[in-house]
Amino acid sequence: MEFVLQQFFTGLSIASILLLVALGLSIIYGAMGVINLAHGEFVMLGAYTAWALQKFVGLNLLPSLVVIFFVVAILGWIMERGVIRFLYERPLDTILATWGLGVIMQQAVRLAVGGELRYVEMPSVLSHSTSFLGVELSVYRIFIFAVVTALFALTWYLMQRTSIGMKLRAVIQNRDMAACFGINADRIYGLTFAYGAGLAGLAGALVSPLKSVSPEMGTTYVVDAFMVVVLGGVESLLGTVASAVLLGELTGAIAYVQNDTVAKSLALLAIVVLIRFRPQGLFVSKVRA
Amino acid sequence: MRIKRREFLKGAAALGAGMSVGLPHIWLKNEGLARAAGGEIKVGVLFSLTGTTAIIEESLNKATILAIEEINAAGGINGMKIVPIVEDPASDPATFAEKARKLVLGDKCVSVFGSYTSASRKAVLPVFEKRNNLYWYPTLYEGRECSKNVIYTGAVPNQQQDEFIPWLINNFGTRFYLIGSNYIYPKEENNYCKKLLQKYGAEVVNEEYVPLGHSEFSSVINKFRSTKPNVIFSTVVGDSVVALHRQYRAAGLDPEKMPMASLTTSENEIAAMGGDAAAGHFTSAPYFMVHKSPENEKFVAAYKARWGQDKVTHFVSEPSYFQVYLFKQAVEKLAPSDITPPTIREAVKGEEMIAPQGRVRIERENLHTWLWPKIARAKPNGQFEVLVESSEWIKPVPYAAYPNQVCTESGLKQT
């Protein structure tokens, strides 16, 4: 029993990291429809900002989170205003442009601070482990779980209950019509993209004490993020959560009985099969268009 | 001007005839060999400066350049300067092969120093064997290779494990958990490890491989908990090493009871994971930055002065450094008109020098290196504490796990 519980929590912990990384993408790709291949680089920039704040300013990870969110959000905003807004009607060009921007960001970081792996310290209050229902758990992983839950609630609230979220949903449904009603679609898109980028930055900062920080770290995260969003169903926040939990528990369990190589390939196989029979993903948000 | 077909053919025939008379050397065997000329000895430096393994290969490039600069500053080799030609193979085996061809055929380098991964070494091997050139490979690797065109200055499995495994069994117990990245190096190391474990009556509780670049170790850590091994024998590489150590610590496991014993965790990886995550775990290697010897103090001081005070030296950058000196010693024995890859190879056989780790020697038979393995425990300050030093240098046996195969001067022998 204890072992099942242990494995369940492991799955949840993997899921929370998946969701953390995918949440920003579910806004940018899911809501705005921009296939942003530079998403992983926002994650990487978040991790590097955390490292820089720690090394040069002496700021602990927890207080730097706020700064990191705004730094990466502003970068995202500049990218949207500078490049992506010219490409909304041309999805193929967007893929190429965002991929190119990703490569530029990787190499810029490498040139600026070098290619070696960087070290972000785990906050000391969170670096021990604790016993819960007879199961030994890392406090830091519990912390990540809590942060993700809060970020998800905030995002859902922003999208569904605030006027900016309502305007965004209107612009997504019919941009011209929304503009006729006096909504500044450009501004809405810019802000949404910045918010998604900021979330990705937070993800990078939060995973950095558990994993490693290098200019190439984004590449693996962008694959995971797309996997989660596509499986959950584009345009559905709830679907993103469901698919993150599903993938986390699935890979965790398979990795336990087999190994991580098998887990990864089986998870991908399951997604391919599912997409074949249900191309819209697990969840579809009902919209009258 | 239009070239008529007849005139073109005439011209081409004349050119062909002229070439065969005027440039006869292309018809002579061995004359196509790279050789040193004009008071310059050209060598290639082939470490990735971009891409995934650039993280570590950058430091190998730096150690190599440092040695070349030192030799040139001290007057070069018999008055000739070493001219390094640096190429960036971008962590991609295909690019490695392409750049190696450029260095060997285009620049006519007499030797190339390069590679960190086995995949990249295997990719350039055909170039060096076909052109009878010489490749100097500084990394510890899985053995099982017997090329006449590679000088191997890193450790092979028998050199890292022969003392390490019995020491671990004596100190911690007989239950081993083998974990590695999913490619040839960890599998060959574990292959040899299992032979040793069997010999000493120890058991393998689990053997597992994670994908390269893997960074989520929750399930693996659950398995550590449920199988309760005495030792976790790790051949995980790259940024996965960092993730594994940090998540081990975050999960509250105790290195006193269940230490990780690694062949791949160096000062470089520890700098990236933080000393706290590494503290208490063990590594076996021929070189550690804290090793006490006048040669090492000189090397560390020179490396920091040249590349920055925060830089570390480690068990791959040290061979990158001393192998350039072995190259120098070999070339010194040759007449200036006779510096070619095959003569350098013959000259380096049996050559000895005092490296930062101790006295090393190139084994005549298999072109691998006699080394001084050490066992060390990581400390919270990011450095190691050397606990056991080998009492004698250890002979390289690249086919240690395959008793019916022996690497000899004339090639691989089946017995």
Domain boundaries, chain B: 40-155+291-371, 159-285
- Band of pLDDT at residue B25, cut at 50, 70 and 90: very low
- Band of pLDDT at residue A6, cut at 50, 70 and 90: confident
Flag whether A270 is in a domain.
Answer: no
What is the DSSP secondary structure assignment for residue A54, as one 8-state letter?
A: I
Flag whether A211 is in a domain.
Answer: yes
User: What amino acid is encoded at B134 in this protein?
Assistant: L
Tell me the mean pLDDT in the region A14-22.
92
Burial class of B242 by CB neighbour count within 10 A (0 to 12, 13 to 18, 19+): buried
Considering CB atoms only, which of A116, A138, A212 is closest to B243? Answer: A212
State pLDDT tens for residues B162-179.
999 999 999 999 999 999
Element (H, E) at B370: strand B369-370
Flag whether A43 is in a domain.
Answer: yes
In this prediction, residue B22 carries a pLDDT of 46
Tell me the mean pLDDT in the region B27-50.
76
Q: Which two tokens stand for residue B401?
A: 């796990």
Considering CB atoms only, which of A209, A220, A255 is closest to B219? Answer: A255
Percentage of chain A modeled with pLDDT above 90: 45
Is 70 exceeded by the pLDDT of residue A286? no
Instruction: Evaluate whether B400 touches B156 at the Cβ level (below 8 Å).
Output: yes
Is 70 exceeded by the pLDDT of residue B16? no
Q: Do A115 and B268 count as a contact with CB atoms less than 8 A apart?
A: no
Flag whether A147 is in a domain.
Answer: yes
A158 bridge partner residues:
none
> Total domain count for chain A?
1
State pLDDT tens for residues A116-132.
788 888 888 888 888 88
CA proximity to A246, closest of A221, A276, A266: A266
State pLDDT tens for residues B240-282.
899 999 999 999 899 999 999 999 999 988 988 889 999 999 9
Q: Do B54 and A13 count as a contact with CB atoms less than 8 A apart?
A: no
Considering CB atoms only, which of B52, B246, B269 is closest to A209? Answer: B246
DSSP codes joined into one string, A149-213:
HHHHHHHHHHHHHSHHHHHHHHHHH-HHHHHHTT--HHHHHHHHHHHHHHHHHHHHHHHTTTS-B
In this prediction, residue A135 carries a pLDDT of 81
Tell me the mean pLDDT in the region A152-180.
89
Flag whether A190 is in a domain.
Answer: yes
Q: How far is CA A263 from CA A257, A268, B220, in A?
A: 9, 9, 12
In this prediction, residue B229 carries a pLDDT of 96
The rounded distance, in Å, linking the Cα atoms of B264 and B48 is 19
The rounded distance, in Å, linking the Cα atoms of A74 and A193 is 10
Considering CB atoms only, which of A10, A117, A251 is closest to B239? Answer: A117
Q: Do A115 and B58 count as a contact with CB atoms less than 8 A apart?
A: yes
In this prediction, residue A235 carries a pLDDT of 75
Flag whether A238 is in a domain.
Answer: no
- Domain span at residue A106 reads 13-218
In this prediction, residue B20 carries a pLDDT of 47
Percentage of chain B modeled with pLDDT above 90: 73
Q: Which of B179, B216, B267 to mutate to test the interface with A (most CBs of A within 10 A)?
A: B216
B223 touches chain A (CB under 8 A): yes
Flag whether A245 is in a domain.
Answer: no
Range with lowest mean pLDDT among A27-41, B349-363, B366-380: A27-41
Instruction: Evaluate whether B136 touches B63 at the Cβ level (below 8 Å).
Output: no
B40-155+291-371 CATH choice from 3.40.50.1370, 3.30.360.10, 3.40.50.2300, 3.40.50.1000: 3.40.50.2300
Architecture of domain B159-285: 3-Layer(aba) Sandwich (3.40)
Q: Which two tokens stand for residue A240?
A: 């993103």
Tell me the mean pLDDT in the region B382-409.
92
Cβ atoms within 10 Å of B364's Cβ, excluding its own: 13
Q: Which residue of A has its CA nearest to B243?
A: A211
- As a whole number, the mean pLDDT across chain A is 89
In this prediction, residue A216 carries a pLDDT of 85
Quote the minimal CA–CA distance from A174 to chain B in Å. Answer: 41
In this prediction, residue B32 carries a pLDDT of 59
The rounded distance, in Å, linking the Cα atoms of B152 and B155 is 8
Considering CB atoms only, which of A210, A214, A255 is closest to B247? Answer: A210
Is 80 exceeded by the pLDDT of residue A288? no
**Helices B239-250 and A139-161, axial angle in degrees (round to 10):** 100
A218 touches chain B (CB under 8 A): no
Tell me the mean pLDDT in the region B302-326.
94
Q: Do A260 and B51 count as a contact with CB atoms less than 8 A apart?
A: no
Q: Do B219 and A256 count as a contact with CB atoms less than 8 A apart?
A: yes
Quote the minimal CA–CA distance from A274 to chain B in Å. Answer: 24
Range with lowest mean pLDDT among B42-56, B192-206, B219-233, B359-373: B42-56
- Band of pLDDT at residue B14, cut at 50, 70 and 90: low
Whether B40-155+291-371 and B159-285 share one fold: the answer is yes
State pLDDT tens for residues A174-223.
888 888 999 998 899 899 999 999 999 999 999 999 988 988 888 889 98
For tokens 């091997």, name the residue: B125
Contacts of B220 in chain A (CB under 8 A): 255, 260
Instruction: Please enumerate in sequence order all residues whose Cβ is within 8 A of that of A177, keeping only pairs 6 or more positions apart, or say none.
Output: A170
In this prediction, residue B287 carries a pLDDT of 96
Which carries the bigger pLDDT value, residue B282 or residue A136? B282
A47 touches chain B (CB under 8 A): no
